[in-house]
């Protein structure tokens, strides 16, 4: 049986809004969030993720199959707004800058985790230390979204459920029968018709986006990925 939270949340949505609406909102909220998140402790305690998604934006054809299947396996509907991976089409740019794939980087030091006041955004030790969001604990403050330094943000807002969500490597996919997560299968990887998305277990270069890019024509899939993807 799934654990119920409701009024037992450490910080309810109502209490959060009360804090935020105070006359000293900036100071009070900042102090409250800092204390609740235990940011310093989280930085030192962040175990490195054992899995990452790397992409080949140059060979992406922009079909958005990855976005559609992501929303389908997680939410039970095809809605690209609810996809945890995003395809960015820039019709004003020429190849290879006309299409970009924006996926969660599973940052070594994850700002979204440090920003979350309820620990909904956390490191899942049972899923290879993936940075994930427990929607049962999410109060909808969107602090994790604001903390993400990338555009578009790699944490996604679900306007129906009023919660944040992000890539979990398909560990929690109620509408997909395959076993996901680190060491399992990922729907976007399995679906991409040109194999422009790959799951790997090495840490990509964290300096810029280039560490998360690969060339599907020259890279050895078997030597860099887990599970034979």
Distance CA 15, CA 207 (A): 38
Q: What is the mean pLDDT of residues 100-114?
A: 96
Burial environment of residue 113 by CB neighbours within 10 A (0 to 12, 13 to 18, 19 or more): buried
Please check whether residue 187 lies inside any domain of the structure.
yes
Q: Say whether pLDDT at 147 is over 70.
A: yes
Distance CA 211, CA 155 (A): 20
What backbone torsions phi and psi does residue 40 show, to the nearest 5 degrees? -60, -40
Check residue 28 and give its pLDDT. Answer: 39
Residues 160-191 have pLDDT tens digits of 999 999 999 999 999 999 999 999 999 999 99
Distance CA 182, CA 176 (A): 16
Helix residue spans in the chain (DSSP H): 13-20, 25-37, 39-45, 65-75, 111-115, 143-147, 187-191, 221-224
**pLDDT band, residue 194 (cuts 50/70/90):** very high
Task: Decide the pairing of beta strands 197-200 and 52-55.
Answer: antiparallel
Please check whether residue 162 lies inside any domain of the structure.
yes
Cβ neighbours of 116 (radius 10 Å): 28
Check residue 26 and give its pLDDT. Answer: 45
Burial environment of residue 79 by CB neighbours within 10 A (0 to 12, 13 to 18, 19 or more): middle
- Its domain, for residue 34, covers 12-224
Count: domains in the chain: 1
Give the global pTM. 0.76
Rama region for 133: left / alpha / beta (φ>0; ψ in -120 to 50; rest): beta
Please check whether residue 1 lies inside any domain of the structure.
no
Please check whether residue 2 lies inside any domain of the structure.
no
Q: Say whether pLDDT at 110 is over 50.
A: yes
Collapse the DSSP code of 214 into the 3-class scheme (helix H, G, I; strand E, B; otherwise coil) and give the result: coil
């Amino acid at each position: 049986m799934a654990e119920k939270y409701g009024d037992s949340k450490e910080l309810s949505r109502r209490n959060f809004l009360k804090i935020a609406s105070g006359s000293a909102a900036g100071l009070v909220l900042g102090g409250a969030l800092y204390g609740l998140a235990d940011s310093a402790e989280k930085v030192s305690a962040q175990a490195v993720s054992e899995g990452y998604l790397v992409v080949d934006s140059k060979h992406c054809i922009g079909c958005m199959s990855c976005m559609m299947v992501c929303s389908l396996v997680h939410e039970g509907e095809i809605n690209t707004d609810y996809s945890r991976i995003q395809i960015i089409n820039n019709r004003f740019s020429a190849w290879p800058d006309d299409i970009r794939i924006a996926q969660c980087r599973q940052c070594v030091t994850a700002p979204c985790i440090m920003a979350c006041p309820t620990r909904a955004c956390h490191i899942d030790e049972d899923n290879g230390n993936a940075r994930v969001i427990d929607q049962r604990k999410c109060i909808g403050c969107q602090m994790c979204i604001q903390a993400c330094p990338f555009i578009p943000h790699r944490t996604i807002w679900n306007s129906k459920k009023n919660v944040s969500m992000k890539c979990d490597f398909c560990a929690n996919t109620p509408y997909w029968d395959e076993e996901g997560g680190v060491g399992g299968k990922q729907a976007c990887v399995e679906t991409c018709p040109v194999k422009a998305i790959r799951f790997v277990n090495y840490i990509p270069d964290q300096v810029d986006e280039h560490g998360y890019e690969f060339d599907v024509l020259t890279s050895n899939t078997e030597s860099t990925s887990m599970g034979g993807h």
